[in-house]
Structure formats: structure tokens, C-alpha cells
Amino acid sequence: MRSSFFGLNIATQGLYTAQTALNITTHNIANAETNGYSRQYAEISATRALPDGSRGMVGTGAEVTGIFQLRNTYIDSKFWSMSTDLGQYKVKNELLGQLELLFNEPSDTGYNVTMGNVYSSLQALATNPAEDAMVTNFINSADSFAQYFNNIAKQMVNYQREANFGVKTSVTQINFIAEQIATINSQIGNMELNGGVANDLRDKRVKLVDQLSEIINIEAKELTDVNGKKRFTISINGQSLVDGNAVNLLKTVPRTDLNNPEDQADLYDIYWQSGKKLYLNNSAASGTLKGYLDVRDGNNSNNFKGNIDSIITAPAPGAPAIVVDNISRHDIPTSGTITIGKEVLEYTDISYSGGQITFTLTAAPPASVAVNQKVEIGEAVAYKGVPYYIQKLNEFVRTMAKEFNTIHKKGNNNTGTELFNFEGYTGAPPQDPLVEINDNFSYNQINIHNFSFSQDIIRDNSKLLTSATDGIGESANDLLLEMLNTKHDVDMFKKGKPDSFMQSLISELGIDSKQAASFEKGQANLTNLIENQRKSISSVDLNEETADMIRFQQAYNLSAKIISVMDEIYNVTINQLVR
């Protein structure tokens, strides 16, 4: 038989249920402007009904069975994917924009003016080769031309170092966020032991994952074991970063060798704490970290490549070595490491002969190394970053130096010296000490960092020769005219004359910069679209909360009214029983 106070119990339960729902609504309204907050709601269910004899079942009221949040994990995953790409394009747009400004075109100090001054002063000198003022003017313009590229080199170094610092900072941020997520995972696990849901902590965790996804591409998911216990995990390239309250940190390690000849020393590689390298040179990688790596290391796949021609395992006397042909470039470090398949071999010296390079190794190569295998130095990074543009500029100054030097050395019956050389030049031909004088490799010591006009000629203008003979007067200008002709020499570079080469390179950088800006804008629009979809589900709508507040207020008031009615009923019943 049911209690006489059955109705009062139902009304009291309704009062508590409405009050709980009102509290949740109040919490939503209070956090309407809280970044990352997800709207919460009370799940209200009817309590277990009681049998009423042959008449069936009688309801016992309602109760709050759970407090949950409105969130779509699929849209979260889409947002993280979009945010990762946006982070990559933001970095590339910023850094390539700085590189583009470096060439300062059009301006009074850019390439066009600097190069134009060389040829205009050369033209003026050709009309009066004996005029000291004209000689000085040409020397100054040629020296300024070299200094222009020296200044470009300094800025390029700064940009690569800036990108390298970005790599280290990104890794530090990844570790910091990962540790925070692991701590929150532990807190959530403790709070949800008895079946509740730690909604506010889950919001905090998602906000951290949002930040992490902008830095690096991740896979985040929540797993449930056979006992119903949930475990939140984050992985990078299939390797666990966070697993519940456990975290696998990353570290940056300075390189001992150069991946590209254009690189600065001590650039960072990224490793897991276990010692395994984190490989991000692939199309799947993204985020701000990927952006920094691409700009810092991007060589447009123009790293050193070749094939093993022969293997010297036991020379007598000497050290083991391999001979490589079909080489893609010659300006490589004289010591470092080469990669052959999965093997990384250390070399201490190189020598050139007949279009081949011999690498002197520190130890005999393993049996897996065989003739015709591919040899590489560094990695082929399919992006045009700082190393690529330095490499192209090096090609330009080397070619210009070689052309002008070849002409000037004809002076005074082939007794002329080099017009352009490099800092530290001591009078020998500008060549690698291991390379034959007439070899194609002979100008590899020149680069935009050390490119300079002859200090001997600056100190003694008489060493600037204008004719192949020792003649004087206006007709003694044959070398100057030959130098002037280089301006229109379409065979000087693969892309034509000198101006065409540089204009093509500057245009290439401009296109890359605009592409990065376009990609960032497009990706920002997509990210905002997904973010708006997420907000349409999870964010607090004050109109809806106001409606809920009124609804639960009415439910509360009606439950209170029922209690009042039941009180009157019991009062009448009890008083009648007493009489």
C-alpha cells in the first residue's frame, strides 16, 4: 500500500529536479562569454514506477540522472585538422613575406639599382678608360654590388635562425601543453570514478587540444575499456604524446652536421625522449612547427644526391672510402654524414676527380652498402625555403664572379687577377683546395656571405685592367666592352641573362609569398566555418537559456504549489482524524 505522503514525496522530488536544472541554466548564463565553454544540460528521467495492484503502475516523479555538455567530437576533429593547416600557412606567410621585403624591389637600394650601377659605371669607364674618377666609380659600384649580397646573406642567416628558434619554441609549447593535458586527464579520471562527468575540466582539455593542434598535426581520441573506464590519448605520426596521465615528451637536439651547405650550424632536429627522431618531412605533417621547418630547411629537393660508383674497403695505405658519380651538386661540406638507404656513414674528407667525389669514411661501410645505391646528404625538402634561395643566390654570384674574372684575367697579356673573390682570399685562384684549377668546382668557395670585390684593386686602382694588351687611351677598353656584353648574355644562366635570372628568382619568391598569404586566408575562412559550426552546437544561446530559465522556474513553482496543496490536504485529513 502506498504511503499517505506519496504525493508530497513526488512534489518534493520535482522541486529538487527543477532547482538542479535551474542551477545548470544559471551556470550556462554565467559562462556565456567564457572562451571554450560548452553548454551543459540536465538529463531528466522519470523515476522508477511502483505497482498499484491490478490497476497497473504508478509514477513516482522525476530526477536528474546526469549533467552533460553539448559537444560534437567529429566537428572537434575537423576543427583540429583545419587549425593545423592554418598554423602552417600563418608561419609561411609571415616568414616568406619578410624574405620578399629583403630584396626591397622596387627601391633605391635593391638589386635592380645596385646591378644597374655596375653596368652604368662600366659603360662610363669604357668611354674613357684612363679617367681616374671613372675607375673609382666602377670600383665603388662593383664593391657595393658585392656588399649588397653580403647584406642579403646576413638577413638570410637571421631568418633561418628565427625559424630555428621557432622550432625550439614550438617543441617547448608542445611539451608544456601535453603535460597540462596529462594532468587534466588524471583529474577527470578521479572525478569520474563514480560515473559523473567532469564537464568543465573536459572543456579545459579541449581548449588545450585546440592550442596544440595549431602547432602540430595530432590525432586525439577518447577510448573506453571493457570496464567502461575512459582514457584520452593524443598521438603524433602514430607515436603517443599523451596516454591518459602519461606523457611522452619531445626534445630538440642541435645538429652536428649540415643538412645543406647553406645551413647555419647547430640547427635543431626533434627527437622523442626515447631517442627516436620525429620525422616531419612528409605531406601529412602540418602546423606552425611544420611551417618553421619548411622555411628553415626547404631546399626544393636540391640536396646532394649521387650513386655509388665503387667502394674502397681496405685501401693501402689510407682509410675506407666510397666513390660517387652522377652528382647533383658540388658545393658540399668537406666533412659530415652521408645517407645510403638506412645507413648513415660519417666522412672526414672529400676529393674530386673526373666528375666524381670520393668520400673518406671513418669506418668501413656495412655489407648492405653496394655499388649503384643512391647517396644523399641531408634531406630532400620539397619546399622553397631559406636554403633554396641562398643556393640560387650563390649560383648567381659564382657565375658573375667567374664571368668577370675570366675576362679580367686576359688583361695585359693574361696577367690580370680576379675582380671578384671571397673574404680571406690570399692570391690563389678562387677554388676549393681539393679541386683542379680548371675544374667546374673551382668557384664553390664563393658564396653570398663572403663574396667580395678584390681588395688589391681597391687599394691600388692601377690593377684594374681595361685591355688585353698594355695599350692606353680610349681604345684600350676591349675588356670593359666584353664585361658590358655579359649584361645581355642569354647563355650565361639557364634562365638567360643576369637580370632575367634575378628577376625570375625574385618573382618566384613573390609568387611563393602570395601563395602562402592566399592559403592562409582560405584556410582561415575554412577554420572559421568549422568553428561557427562548433559554436552552433556548443556555445551558450542566451535566448534559449532564458526560455529554459522560465520553464524550470515554472516547474519549480508548480512543484512548490503541489506541496502547498498537499499540505492543506494533509492538514484537513489529520485534523478530521483527531476529531
pLDDT band at 6 (very low <50, low <70, confident <90, very high): confident
Share of the chain above pLDDT 70, in %: 93
pLDDT band at 464 (very low <50, low <70, confident <90, very high): very high
pLDDT band at 175 (very low <50, low <70, confident <90, very high): very high
pLDDT at 442: 66
Mean pLDDT of 258-276: 94
Q: What is the mean pLDDT of the chain?
A: 90
pLDDT surpasses 60 at 343: yes
For the beta carbon of residue 22, count every other beta carbon within 10 angstroms: 18
pLDDT surpasses 90 at 299: yes
Q: Span 304-377: which CATH code? A: 2.40.10.170
pLDDT surpasses 70 at 427: no
Cα–Cα nearest to 210, from 331, 416, 60, 35: 35
Share of the chain above pLDDT 90, in %: 70
Mean pLDDT of 96-101: 92
Ranges 120-129, 187-196, 564-573: which has the least confidence = 564-573
pLDDT surpasses 90 at 124: yes
Q: Assess contact for 345 and 337: CB atoms under 8 A.
A: yes
pLDDT surpasses 50 at 434: no
Question: Treating both helix axes as pointing N-terminal to C-terminal, what angle do 73-102 and 288-297 enclose, rounded to 10 degrees?
Answer: 30
Mean pLDDT of 101-123: 87
Question: Which residues, 6+ apart, have CB-to-CB distance to 13 below 8 Å?
Answer: 47, 60, 61, 62, 63
Cα–Cα nearest to 72, from 82, 62, 84, 80: 80
pLDDT in tens, 383-403: 999 999 999 999 999 999 999
pLDDT surpasses 80 at 122: yes
Cα–Cα nearest to 216, from 271, 289, 293, 295: 289
pLDDT at 502: 93
Cα–Cα nearest to 288, from 401, 169, 386: 169
pLDDT surpasses 50 at 1: no
pLDDT surpasses 50 at 246: yes
pLDDT surpasses 60 at 579: no
pLDDT at 317: 66
Ranges 15-29, 318-332, 467-481, 548-562: which has the least confidence = 467-481
Q: Assess contact for 404 and 443: CB atoms under 8 A.
A: no
For the chain, residues classed under CATH 2.40.10.170 are 304-377
pLDDT surpasses 60 at 200: yes
pLDDT surpasses 50 at 150: yes
Mean pLDDT of 86-100: 95
pLDDT surpasses 70 at 113: yes
pLDDT band at 440 (very low <50, low <70, confident <90, very high): very low
pLDDT at 571: 79
pLDDT surpasses 80 at 474: no
SS3 letters across 173-242:
HHHHHHHHHHHHHHHHHHHCCCCCCCHHHHHHHHHHHHHHHHHCCCEEEEEECCCCCEEEEEEECCEEEE
Q: DSSP string covering 444-463, please? A: TT--TTTEEE-HHHHH-GGG
pLDDT surpasses 80 at 574: no
The better pLDDT of the pair 355, 439 is held by 355
Q: What backbone torsions phi and psi does residue 251 show, to the nearest 5 degrees?
A: -145, 155
pLDDT at 520: 96
Half-sphere exposure of 40 (CA within 13 A, CB side): 26
The better pLDDT of the pair 56, 358 is held by 358
pLDDT surpasses 70 at 426: no
pLDDT at 59: 82
The better pLDDT of the pair 431, 548 is held by 548
Question: Which residues, 6+ apart, have CB-to-CB distance to 194 below 8 Å?
Answer: none
pLDDT in tens, 554-573: 999 998 998 888 888 877 77
**What sign for the dihedral angle of Cα 260, 266, 270, 272?**
positive
pLDDT surpasses 80 at 294: yes
| E strand or H helix that includes residue 356 | strand 356-361
Mean pLDDT of 69-77: 93
pLDDT surpasses 50 at 449: yes
Ranges 26-35, 47-56, 180-189: which has the least confidence = 47-56
Cell 625559424 belongs to residue:
163
Radius of gyration of the chain from Cα atoms? 37
pLDDT surpasses 90 at 134: yes
Mean pLDDT of 511-522: 95
